[in-house]
Amino acid sequence: MTLHDDIDTYLAADLHNELSADEQNKLHAHLVECATCRKLHQETKSMNNILEENLAAEKADPTFEQRMLASFRNRIPQRSGGLTKLIFDLMRLRSAQVTAVAAVLLGLVQVGRMVTGEGAAPARKLGYRDEHHFADRQLNAPFQRSADHSSAQASQLAAGRADALIASEENSFASAPAAPMTQGEKDKIIATEDRREFATKMAKAASAEAALAAQAKPAETPAVVANRKLIRNANVELEIASFDDVVQKITAFASEDGGFIATTSSNKQANGKLRGAVVVKILPENLDRFLQKIRGLGELKNQTLGTEDITKAYFDTDARLKNARVMEQRLIDMLKTKTGKVSDLLQVEKELGRVREDIEKMQGELKFWDSQVQFATVTISLAEKDMEEPAAFLLKERAQLALYAPDVEKVYNDIKALASPKTQITNAQLDRDNTGRVSARLSILIAPEESDAQIARVKTMGRVDNFQVQTERVAQGGTGMSQNARTKRDKVELNITISREEQEQAFQQTSLRIRTSAVDQKSKELRTLTEKQNGRVRSSTFSRDPDGREFANVSLRVPMKNYPALMESLNALGKVENVSVQRQDRTGAQIDEANAPADLSIQVYSQGNIVSHQSGLLATLRRTIAQSAGAIMWSLRMIGVAIAFLAPWVIALVALILIAKRVAQARRQR
């Protein structure tokens, strides 16, 4: 593009002084040559002038900035800004932005998970419930069947107990087709629970029916028994007050109902209670009456009734027996005729023996069945009440003893020396840590008869800080309470802890000051006094300060019983000041107060001699100058004060004199 084509740009830039020197030269050269551009140059110049003139009028006025500021302040009120500034700064940080985005994403994910998780849970529940319903429906069919079954049973057992029914029903349910359905374990359990519930309901109904049947039956039963062979037996479990009484009563009942006692057995428990079993044979037709009577003897725990129908087997055996008899007769006839070979006869003899054996076996079987059918068997298990009552109690004693002793090791060895067959040391431990603190722990088992004596002996070995005895009664061979159980003392377990006296906290703390002139000597005296009172100095310090004052800090410990005597003797050392006593009363603790330690911290001090150690000539001079300078300053201040007091009066006086002079002058002139 040539300069001529782009003349507008060059002209504007020229007017605005934005052309480089080179460009300027070129433009001017062109303007010399080109008339059109010259004209444009002229026009642009005047245009520029117009703009400069006109737009200058439109410029913002001088107060513009002030207005802007004022409106800004108005619209954005000054705030404390601490928090907002922080937030702004945070928003500017890239890491903060990234964190915020991450947090939002994480939150979204969590929300999503929650939503989907909650969505899934009810769905699962729903499915499960459906299955459950399905199971119920499936179960109904066997229930119907078993209901029929149980009512049949109820009519069969005249006075049957519900428990027995439940048991048998539960068995039948276990093999019901519904049980092995393709469901989870849980479903199965629920199903069995449902069944159980159903069974109890059914059992109630059945027992009601049974009660009805019991009223109707007695007349019918003998007829049934007449042509059927039924073996009846019953198991009864009773809880009773006294075994022997009940056995007597059972004997009486049995003979009343045409029965007898087959066997009795009993054994005695450790706590003197009897447990046993009685087997009674009773006529089947009287069985129900007999059971009713027995129930009155004690608390019925359990009862089962069983009936076995052996009619078919019995008559089979009977027929076979008859056949065998015929066979026997025929063989006997054969032998009587005695025709044939000897070997044949031997064969017949052998056969006869076998047949007779069979006959005897079958006769025995029939006899056994007859006896079984003739008498029903009732097994009565008897247990006296409170079988669980404990037979004996064991008193376990556990003692904790904490001792303070000046020499832990010695006491430790003394206690160890107590060992004997009746005093056994089960555990002994002596600890010494790197700061020289010694403590020991011992566990001892002491035979009950020696325990008190041994504990008392151990107690004398040191100062007892703490003694606890814990007794526990442990029931043996049962639980609960018993009035006639024996009580036995077990071995006493004694745990001993021994600590050094130093570690013991003082029972009483006293601090005081003694003023004296000879600190060193008096503190030595204090030491001997302490030893006289059976105490010990635990620490002592001595110091002298620049003014020549001396201090000795002595802390010592005495037994409480010697404390008053020591306090008394302190008066001999000097003037006792600032006594403060702090006592720690441990409420409820039984403590050996006479031997409890009392701590004293004593400061022995002297009034320093006032003479300073700075006694040279220069020092004296300096002090003198300092003092005199102080005195001058003081007097200056006083003078100032005096002037302040007097000045107004002086001024007033001078003024008065001046006025008086003027007045006098004026009079004279007149």
Sign of CA dihedral 331, 333, 339, 345: positive
- Taking CA atoms, 192 is separated from 53, 181, 182, in Å, by 108, 12, 15
* 382 Cβ contact list (under 8 Å, min separation 6): 238, 240, 243, 246, 247, 266, 274, 275, 276, 277, 278, 298
Number of residues that bind other proteins (CB under 8 A): 43
From 38-46, 292-300, 433-441, 478-486, span contacting other proteins (CB under 8 A): 38-46
Residues in 355-414 at the binding interface with other proteins, rule: CB under 8 A: none
Least separation in angstroms between residue 40's CB and other proteins is 8
Can you tell me which of 2, 20, 59, 615 binds other proteins, judged by CB under 8 A? 59
Least separation in angstroms between residue 39's CB and other proteins is 11
Does position 594 interact with other proteins (CB under 8 A)? The reply is no
Least separation in angstroms between residue 9's CB and other proteins is 3
Does position 47 interact with other proteins (CB under 8 A)? The reply is yes
Can you tell me which of 24, 26, 48, 562 binds other proteins, judged by CB under 8 A? 48
Does position 648 interact with other proteins (CB under 8 A)? The reply is no
- 85 vs 183: CA distance, rounded Å: 65
DSSP 341: -
- 392 vs 621: CA distance, rounded Å: 101
Residue type, 171: N
* 490 Cβ contact list (under 8 Å, min separation 6): 394, 395, 396, 397, 448, 474
Least separation in angstroms between residue 6's CB and other proteins is 8
Can you tell me which of 46, 175, 434, 587 binds other proteins, judged by CB under 8 A? 46
Residue type, 178: A
**Which lies closer to other proteins via its Cβ, residue 10 or residue 290?**
10
- Taking CA atoms, 578 is separated from 512, 513, 514, 530, in Å, by 5, 6, 9, 20
**Which lies closer to other proteins via its Cβ, residue 16 or residue 668?**
16
Residue from 175, 386, 349 nearest 274 by CA: 386
Least separation in angstroms between residue 648's CB and other proteins is 53
**Which lies closer to other proteins via its Cβ, residue 90 or residue 658?**
90
- Helical ranges in 178-256 per DSSP H: 185-216, 221-227, 243-256
**Which lies closer to other proteins via its Cβ, residue 18 or residue 245?**
18
Query: What's the chain's length in residues?
Result: 670
Angle between helices 162-174 and 94-156 (to 10 degrees): 120
* 596 Cβ contact list (under 8 Å, min separation 6): 463, 506, 507, 508, 559, 560
Tokens of 517: 């002139």
CB 285 within 8 A of CB 257: no
**Which lies closer to other proteins via its Cβ, residue 56 or residue 456?**
56
- 362 vs 320: CA distance, rounded Å: 8
Least separation in angstroms between residue 29's CB and other proteins is 19
Least separation in angstroms between residue 28's CB and other proteins is 17
**Which lies closer to other proteins via its Cβ, residue 78 or residue 479?**
78
**Which lies closer to other proteins via its Cβ, residue 6 or residue 452?**
6
**Which lies closer to other proteins via its Cβ, residue 55 or residue 617?**
55
Can you tell me which of 21, 35, 60, 342 binds other proteins, judged by CB under 8 A? 60
Least separation in angstroms between residue 95's CB and other proteins is 14
Mask for 3-22, x = binds other proteins (CB under 8 A): ---x-xxxxxx-xx-x----
Residues in 64-123 at the binding interface with other proteins, rule: CB under 8 A: 64-65, 67-69, 71-73, 75-76, 78, 81, 84-85, 88-89, 91-92
- 472 vs 491: CA distance, rounded Å: 12
Tokens of 389: 């009552």
From 39-47, 125-133, 435-443, 534-542, span contacting other proteins (CB under 8 A): 39-47
**Which lies closer to other proteins via its Cβ, residue 95 or residue 539?**
95
Least separation in angstroms between residue 98's CB and other proteins is 15
Interface positions with other proteins (CB under 8 A): 6, 8-13, 15-16, 18, 40, 43-44, 46-48, 50-52, 54-56, 58-60, 64-65, 67-69, 71-73, 75-76, 78, 81, 84-85, 88-89, 91-92
